[in-house]
Every structure is written in C-alpha cells, then in structure tokens.
Structure 1
Amino acid sequence: MGDRPATDSAAMIAEARKAFFVMFGFLAVVWLVQLGNFADDYAPAREYGVVSGDLDTLPHILTAPFLHWSWAHIESNSGPLFIFGFLAAYRGVLRFLGLSLLVAVTSGLAVWFFEGGNVETVGASGLIFGYFGYVVVRGLFDRHLIDTLIGVVMAASFAYMLTVTVPGTPGVSWLAHLGGLIGGLVGAWLFRDRRGKRPAAQPPAPRDTTGTTGTTKTISTTKTSSTTQNTGADHPRADLHKELGDLGLL
C-alpha cells in the first residue's frame, strides 16, 4: 500500500508530460497552417470554413478549428487554447482526443445549423470554450477534489469569457463558442472516470494489551480513535489528503 501514492503520482506526471507535448504540437500545427494560410492570401480559410446550411462545408467542422482570419486572431486564441487544452488533457490524452472531436463537432454544428448569413466561420475558439467548460465541471463528475478546485479557480478567473457565448459582439461567432461550451460540458459527463473510488485503507485494529497495565491499554485505544477521526474514510478531508498524496504533496 505504501507504493501506491508514488505510482499514482508518477502516472499523473507522465500524463501531464504527454499533455504538454500534445498541446505544444497542436499549437505548432495551427501556426504552420496559419503561415500557409497567410501566404495564400487566406484562401484556405475561405475554402475550408463552415458555412451555415451548405452541405459541402459540413465536413469542414473538422478543419475550421485549424484556420484563422489574421495574425491577431491566432494570437488571441493561442494562450487560452494551450492553457485550457493542457488542463483538459493532463488526466488522460486519449480521453482528451475524444473530447476534442466532440467539441469540434458540437461547435461546428451550432454554426452550420444556426449561423446567419453566407459567411465562412473558422477559428479554434470553439475548442477553447469546450475545454473551458470541461475543466470547470470535470472534477464534479470524476469526484476529484484537486480537479474541482482547479475548476473553481478557472471559472472565477475566466467567467468573463461567457460574455461572448451570447449575441452582441460584432465579428464573433457566439454560436461557435456556445456550441463548444455545450460540447465540453457534455464531454465531462461522457468521459467521466467510471472506475469509482478505491476503498479507503482501514485503520489498524487496537493491539491486544492483555497483561499490561490499564493505563497503557487506555492510551493505545485513544491513539487509534484519533487516527480514525483524522484520516478515516468518513472524514471530509480524507479524499483531499489522498489527492495531495497522489500528487506527491504530502
């Protein structure tokens, strides 16, 4: 039992390392695409964007997140994309890839069904909002206290982002944002941790003190009771202690 926290911590660090390189690689691809997009006078963005109601552009819901309309567009998306993408991926890269596909589809379909006007919609902001929604509620579905705390901090720090999930900002596809956010919330439930909690370690039974003085027996019982009270399965801090232990912080 003593090796389990170290093993869990090592696995989490390995996943976090993979998540970092996955997001770094994804951003590198997005910027390389932008170089080609810029060199071709943004023809790829016009050709592979999503246009509402146009059947020919329906498959473009998978290409639109890689394209941007300007350098300012891609710069504004890159930081949040990396931050929220990493936080969404560090618990499991394979789960993250499934989430990314789901969010791209929900964001793209929201644009394809409901966007007004014959305009092409591109950009990674739908993914950003999907990852944001996923990170905010994932801890509640997985019952991970550390992830719940991260979600609370992200929600408090970036709540202003929700202002562009409703109509009112010129030149911004609020439908892509809202569709991505819905996809992230749904993904948190679909990709939740179904393994359940490991049973908490039971405290050792009091040793038989037959033959010793009554005072010694009373002290032994008192120590056992204190241990149960502080770290037992029913204590509200028990799960937090375990999470911190898995991260190597205890």
Structure 2
Amino acid sequence: MSSRQPERRPPWVVAAIGSGAFVVLLWLLEIVDASADHRLDRYGIEPRTGDGLLGILFAPLLHGGWRHLEANTLPCLVLLFLVLLSGVARGLQATAIIWLVAGIGVWLVAGSGTIHLGASSLIFGWLVYLVLRGFWNRNTVEILIGVVLFLVYGGVLLGVLPGEPGISWQGHLFGAIGGGLAAFLLGEPRRERAVV
C-alpha cells in the first residue's frame, strides 16, 4: 500500500472556494428570507435588547432585500478571498474578531428601536484588516495589496460616518474597528534580534 499524502489545493483555490461558499450562503439565506416574507430580518441586531443579542451572530448573514445583497456580493467575494489567501485559519480568526466587535458595538451604541443587518460590517472590517495587516507584519506584498485596496475602496470608508438614513454607519464603524483590532492581534512583527 502506498502512503501518499492527499494532494493539497493551492491557497488561491481554497480562498476562492471559501469566499464563494460564503456568498452562496448569503444568497441562499436571502432566497429563504424572501420566500418567508422577510421574517428572518427580525434576527438582525436590535440594540440593547435580549433578542437583539442573537443578531450579533446572525446579522452579517442577513440582508434587507436583493439590492442590499447585490451591493455586498462583489466586495464580499474580493475581500474575503484576499483575507483567506494568506491562510484560512488566520482569515477565519480575523473574520471572527470583526464579526464580534461589529455586532457588540452596534448592539451597545446604535439607536433603540432599529434593526441592523448585512455583511457590510464584515466588508468594512476586512478592508481595514487588509489595509493594515501588512504594516503589522512588515510584509511588503501585504503592504502593496493594502495600498491598492485603499486606492480602490478607500472612499467607502467614509461610510463609518453618520449619513444616509437606513444605512448602519454603526455597523460600518465597528466593523472597521474590528478589522484594525484583528490586524493588530493577528500581526506577526519581526522580533528584533538582541545584540549581545
């Protein structure tokens, strides 16, 4: 019998499958939500309520209609792909930090009587994470990717400011904070060699 190791997929394939699977999940949930007369939307984050705590877990998976989901689809595919490209474990850790910081921040700070949902909190977090991680890692390629992303998507970051009604700037803000925190916590700065 041969003891051949199973062939490992290239990182870009794993990242593509991961980001694609996440977006497919978002679309499937929106199909279910639309067929259920948008009853799933009540599982978004309702600030400072007991039921709203569940929203911390579910809100990034739910969207307020097809246009909302369409607007988040391409950024989710691109940014999550780049987050997972440098390692699935680290990408999932970064996503978990962003998810929790965004959800808890919205639950604590957003206006009463509102419901917040959508993957944009993750999108803002992934963007900030990708822009900052290269500086913490002191990795030239990651810095260049961050600069390019900032040039392409940087204007989006103005969404952390209060603005258009019906847009959760709080989700954007705390997602971005979560992305910065993830870049810091998961960064691997080179240790300076001690001179003896």
Pairwise same-fold verdict (TM > 0.5): yes
Instruction: Report matched runs for 1:1-250 at 5 Å.
Output: 14-46=10-42, 48-193=43-188, 196=190
Q: Tell me the C-alpha RMSD between the 2 structures.
A: 1.7
Aligned equivalents of 1:20 and 1:147: distance in 2? 18
Once residues 155 and 164 of structure 2 are traced to their aligned partners in structure 1, the CA distance between those partners, rounded to angstroms, is 13
Contact 2:48 2:112 in 1 (8 A): no
Cα deviation 1:49-71 (Å, max 9, x = unaligned) = 11011022213211111100110
- Cα deviation, 1:188-226, whole Å, max 9, x if unaligned, reads 1111136x48x9xxxxxxxxxxxxxxxxxxxxxxxxxxx
Give distance in 1, aligned partners of 2:67 and 2:36: 17
**Cα distance in 1 between the residues matched to 2:56 and 2:107:** 9
**Using the alignment, how far apart are the partners of 2:112 and 2:65 within structure 1?**
21
Give me the whole-angstrom Cα distance separating, in 1, the residues matched to 2:179 and 2:45: 20
Question: What is the identity percentage for the equivalent residue pairs of Structure 1 and Structure 2?
Answer: 34
Instruction: Determine helix, strand or coil for the equivalent of 1:55.
Output: coil
- Report the Cα distance in structure 2 between the residues aligned to 1:31 and 1:111, rounded to whole angstroms: 23
TM-score by length of 1: 0.71
What is the number of equivalent residue pairs in this alignment?
Answer: 185
Separation in structure 2 between the aligned mates of residue 136 and residue 183 of structure 1, nearest angstrom:
13
**CA drift at 1:172:** 0.4
Whichever residue aligns with residue 79 of structure 1, its letter is L
Distance apart, 1:117 and its partner CA: 3.0
CA deviations on 1:135-157 (whole Å, 9 max, x unpaired) are 00111111110110110111111
Distance 1:72 1:26 in 2: 18
Q: Which has the larger radius of gyration?
A: 1
Per the normalisation by structure 2, the TM-score is 0.90
